[in-house]
Amino acid sequence: MTPAEAQPRRGGSLRGAGPLRGGEILGKLGFTEPAGAEAVEGIMRPGALRGAARGRNLDGLAHTLFLRIYPVIAAVVLATQIGIACVNYADEFRLYGERGALLAGITAANLAQPGWSAAPERARTALQALALDPAFRYAALRDAEGRLVASAGEAPGKRAFDLLQVAADLAVPGEERAGSLSLVLSAEALRGNAEKQALLALGTSLVLMLAFVLTLRTTVRRHVLGPLNRLLGAMREVEHKRWVTVDLGGDARPSNEIDAISSAFNRMVEGLRSGDEAKQLLLELEAAHAKLEHANRQVIESIAYARRIQASVLPDRAALAGSGLDVAILWEPLHLVGGDYFWLEAIDGQGVIVVADCTGHGVPGAFLTLIVATALDRLLHERGLRSPAAILAGLDAMVRAQLRQDGRGAESDDGLDCGICVVDPASRTLRFAGAGLSLTRVGADGIERLRGGRRGLGYPRTGREALPETDTVVTLAPGTTFYLMTDGITDQMGAAAPGEPPRLLGHRAVADRLAATADRPLPEQVAALEAGLAAYRGAEPRRDDMTLVAFRLP
C-alpha cells in the first residue's frame, strides 16, 4: 500500500462508519455488488420480461437487416455491372472507329494515283473488297470537286446511333487534294454484345442477391436469433424463480457479444442460486472492513509519525537569521512526507543553502532525504567543504556508495537533483553549483537563470555529462533576490484562462510571477506564489513535492 492509498479520502473514510450493510461495504471497497436487491427484484418481478420475450417477433430483426442492406448491395452490384458494360461498349466502339479509319486510309492510299478518277472500275473493285467486312454498310468515292466516282452498299437514310462513319482523303503527288473516301460501318454487333452483357449483369446480380439473402437469413438465425431465443427463454424461467442457465455450446470463452451477455446472465443466475454463499461473503467483507480500517489507521499513524521525524531532520527556518540574510521557505510534500529537502546553516560567517529533489515522493523519497541530510552533515562538518562544486561531488559519491550503485548488478537506480549556494555577506558574494537544479535571480536588471549541470547526483555511472567542477560566483547587489526551487514548483498543470486546455506552467512563468512581487517581503512573496500556483492548477491535482527557498542580502 502506498502512502497515497493509505491516506483517508474526504467523504469516503472508513473510520467511524459504524455497522454497514453488505452493499455499502462493497461500494466503499470499490467493488460492484453482483446483484443488488433492487436490480434483482426488478428482474424477478413477474411479467417484467414478458414484453421482451413475447411482445416482439425476433424474425423481424432479420427482415429489418434485409430491408436495410439488400437495396444497397443490389444498387452497388447493378451500378458496377452497368459501369463495366458501358466502359466495354465505349472501348469496342472506339476500336471499331480505329479499324474503319485504318481500312479507309489503306484503300485511299491504294487508289491515290494520277488519273484514278478516269478508271472507275478499279475503284469499284476496291470498294467491293471493303464490302467483305461483316460490319460494312456503305462506301462512296468522290473526286476533288465532290462528284461521286464509285460507291458500294446502300447509303444510310439517316445517321443512326449504331452506325459509324469515317473518311479518308486521297493524296496524289503534285495535287493538293485528289478526292475522298467515305466509309460507313455498322455497330449492330456491338449493341447485341452490350445487350448480352446487360442481361448477364442482371442475372449475376439476381444470383448474388439470392445468395446474400440465403446467407443472411441462415447466419442471423444461427448466430443471432437462436442465441437470443435461448437467452429470452432462460429469462422467462428465471422470472418464475427457476434457476436455469443458457447453454453456450461448451465454448470456454464468449465468441461474440451475445455469448458475453449470456455468460454474464449465467453468472448472475449462479449468484442468485448461491444466496447463502453471498451472505457468507458479505459477512467476510464486514470482517475485512474492520481489518482494513484498523490497517488504514495504523498506516496513517505511522506516516504521520514519519512526517514528524522528517520535519525534525529539516533545519530551523531561522538558522540564517544571524548571518544577515533574509530567508523565506516553501516546503510542501505531495503526501504527508516527501522527497524534497532543504538545508540552512551559518558556518564560519557564511550561509549555506541547499535544496534537493530526491527520486520519487512519499515514503521512498523521504528515506532518500535522510541519506542526503547525513551526507551533508559529514561534508560540511567532518570534511569542512565550503565550495558548492566540491560539496556536490562529495554528495554524489556518498549517495552512490550508500545506495551501492558503484558495483556490478546495482539494485538501485535512485538519486537526486541538487542546488547549493554559499553566501558570504562580508564580501557580498555568492557561489553556486547545481546538478539538475538552477538558481533564479530577480533584480533591477531583470530575471536571470543560472543553470547547473544536467546530470543529477547518485544514479549508476553512465558516462554522461560530468558534474560542475567550478563554482559560479555572483555579486550580491542590494535588492536582488535569489530563488532555489525544485521542479515541483514549475511542473504545474493548469489553464492560463478558462476554457483553455491544461499546459505546463514552466520556469519562465514562475520567474515572472516572482518578479511581479519582488518588492514585497519574502514571506509575502512565497505566500503569493503558493496562492497563484493553486489558482493556476484549478481542478488539476498536484504532481510532485514543492520546495522553494528565497533569500537576499539587504
Give the pLDDT of residue 26. 40
| Higher per-residue pLDDT: 486 or 13 | 486
Largest CA distance in the chain: 135
Give the pLDDT of residue 523. 95
Grid coordinates standing for 122? 478499279
In tens, the pLDDT along 488-523 reads 999 999 987 888 888 999 999 999 999 999 999 999
Q: Are 184 and 151 contacting, i.e. CB atoms less than 8 angstroms apart?
A: no
Give the pLDDT of residue 93. 77
Distances (CA, A) of 376 to 392, 415, 448, 460: 9, 15, 28, 20
Give the pLDDT of residue 255. 66
Q: Are 371 and 313 contacting, i.e. CB atoms less than 8 angstroms apart?
A: no
- 29: pLDDT confidence band, cut at 50, 70 and 90? very low
In tens, the pLDDT along 217-259 reads 787 777 777 778 878 888 888 777 777 788 776 665 666 777 7
- 308: pLDDT confidence band, cut at 50, 70 and 90? confident
Q: Which pTM does this prediction carry?
A: 0.50
Q: What would the mean pLDDT of 110-124 be, rounded to a whole number?
A: 74
- 6: pLDDT confidence band, cut at 50, 70 and 90? very low
φ, ψ for residue 5, nearest 5 deg: -75, -30
- 347: pLDDT confidence band, cut at 50, 70 and 90? very high
Q: What would the mean pLDDT of 398-413 be, rounded to a whole number?
A: 77
> Minimal CA–CA distance to 436: which of 488, 503, 375?
488
Alpha helices in 481-521 (DSSP H): 487-490, 507-516
Between the ranges 212-221, 263-272, 410-419, where is the mean pLDDT highest?
410-419
Q: Which of 239-248, 306-315, 469-478, 531-540 has the lowest mean pLDDT?
A: 239-248
Between the ranges 92-106, 154-168, 304-318, 339-353, where is the mean pLDDT highest?
339-353
Running DSSP on this structure, what letter comes out for residue 455?
S
Q: What would the mean pLDDT of 470-477 be, rounded to a whole number?
A: 94
Q: In angstroms, rounded to a whole number, what is the distance separating the alpha carbons of residues 509 and 524?
A: 18
Give the pLDDT of residue 41. 46
> Minimal CA–CA distance to 162: which of 127, 194, 119, 209?
194
Q: Are 516 and 298 contacting, i.e. CB atoms less than 8 angstroms apart?
A: no
| Single-letter residue type at 513 | R
In tens, the pLDDT along 437-469 reads 999 999 989 999 999 988 889 887 766 667 888
Q: Which of 8-12, 341-345, 387-391 has the lowest mean pLDDT?
A: 8-12
Q: What would the mean pLDDT of 100-109 be, rounded to a whole number?
A: 81
Running DSSP on this structure, what letter comes out for residue 453?
B
Distances (CA, A) of 357 to 169, 340, 369, 436, 533: 96, 5, 9, 9, 19
Q: What is the mean pLDDT of the chain?
A: 80
Give the pLDDT of residue 362. 79
- 389: pLDDT confidence band, cut at 50, 70 and 90? very high
Q: In angstroms, rounded to a whole number, what is the distance separating the alpha carbons of residues 19 and 21?
A: 7
Q: Burial code of 151-176, b = ≥16 C-beta within 10 A, e = fewer? A: bbbeeeeeeeeebbebbbebebeeee
φ, ψ for residue 112, nearest 5 deg: -75, 85
Domain 314-552 has CATH 3.30.530.20: no
